[in-house]
Amino acid sequence: MYIKKQRLLTPGPTPLLPRALHAMMASDIHHRTSDFQKLYRQVLTDLKDVFGTKNEVLPLSSSGSGAMEAAVSNLFRRNDKVIVCTAGKFGERWVGITKAFGLNPIVVEAPYGDSVSAARLAEALREHPDARGVFVQASETSTGAAHDVQAMGALVKNTDAILVIDAITGLGTMPLDIDGWGLDVVIGGSQKAFMIPPGLAFLSVSDKAWEFHKTCDLPHFYFDLKKERKNALAGESTWTPAVSLIISLAEALKYIKELGMDKLIANAQMLAAATRAAASALGLELFSPNAPSSSVTAIRPPAGMDSGLIVKGFRNEFGMVIANGQGEMKGQIFRIAHLGYFDFADLFATIGALEIILNANGYIVPYGKGVAAAQSFYAEAIRTR
């Protein structure tokens, strides 16, 4: 009966940058032309810039998981022992992929809502000096927890192993000094902080990791990083790329460079901190209070309330799509995203809607209490900026 605008508040896909969306209209160009090559070269340069690395950053036409698989199938050997630090559903995906390719994963697990400490990784590395790889999420999207990949990099740097990071929601929400911290493989995805639709994945590969490629004996064909790098240097992709997304990405990267990657990160960090302040004002608990990620905030519903009611309330009453918990966490949490093209106006609206939904489901909070906390946070942030 009232207008409901469709709003995406999920940690992927995320809201689209309008100018990147509009750019997709010009997708009727062929990928083996000089026009496209020029654009592709610019994208490759800007990707390195935005990732902040001297490594080649290779785009693949797949969702983020394709790049996760490519990292395994292009750099390791059958029966390789690897350490997988897992703290949620995406960590479990590393376990699944490494097993699927015949690796031998040693799983270092943290309970959902927690993260694997660098000290635990150090212990695992001591116990397994023959490990050839360490896998982790920079930001575990399923729980809203972050990992200390800087400390992990410092540990792995001194070993013969490589550090493979799923930074799909870490990029653009937390500082990642790829070259300085020794982050060998860093993976991103288009539908997260890059503000464009799903369908592209990115991989930064260090010199140390390229050495691993030489002894890799695992089958791969479509995702062939060596071929991809060779073609990238010639301004081409190996196969027909997702042309519309590359065109869109070119605009998004331009925007991120204008804004500054550090500002994009600060934006997510501010929104995340303001969301935590609002949740606390509303008497709600965080799911991952110890190391909260700035990509997404996972919040527990009031005691006795299924988080599905909150998710449904957002969708039905306000046209807002927020994420429920995944797997066993379904019904236990709801997740509000901050990565990419989000601003404070989005957040005020989200918290305002949340207050109405909570009251409608019997959890009585004064209207405006959470919004006021977010507003105060914002006012303070711009005062001290």
Residues that bind ligand PLP (CB under 6 A): 11-12, 63-65, 90, 137, 141, 166, 168-169, 189, 198
Q: What's the min distance (Å) between Cβ of 191 and ligand PLP?
A: 6
Amino acid in position 366: P
- Report how far apart, in Å, the C-alpha atoms of 56 and of each of 59, 169, 249, 287 are: 10, 20, 17, 36
Tokens of 205: 């590969």
Residue with CB nearest ligand PLP? 64
Nearer Cβ to ligand PLP (90/181):
90
DSSP state of 8: E
Shortest Cβ 273–ligand PLP spacing (Å): 20
Residue number, 64 or 313, with CB nearest to ligand PLP: 64
Q: Is the Cβ of residue 62 or residue 350 nearer to ligand PLP in the bound state?
A: 62
Task: Choose between 281 and 329: whose C-beta lies nearer to ligand PLP.
Answer: 329
CA Rg value for the chain: 21
Measured from the CB of residue 186, what is the shortest distance to ligand PLP in angstroms? 12
| Least spacing, CB of residue 299 vs ligand PLP, in Å | 17
In sequence order, what DSSP letters do the residues of 35-92 get, joined into one string?
HHHHHHHHHHHHHHHHHT-SS-EEEESS-HHHHHHHHHHHH--TT-EEEEEESSHHHH
> What minimum distance in Å lies between the beta carbon of 332 and ligand PLP?
18
**Which residue's CB is nearer to ligand PLP, number 342 or number 363?**
342
Q: How many residues does the chain have?
A: 385
Cβ at position 185, least distance to ligand PLP in Å: 13
- For residues 90 and 194, which CB has a smaller minimum distance to ligand PLP in the complex? 90
Three-state secondary structure along 179-210?
HHHCCCEEEEECCCCCCCCCCCEEEEECHHHH
Please give the structure tokens belonging to residue 267.
Answer: 């934006």
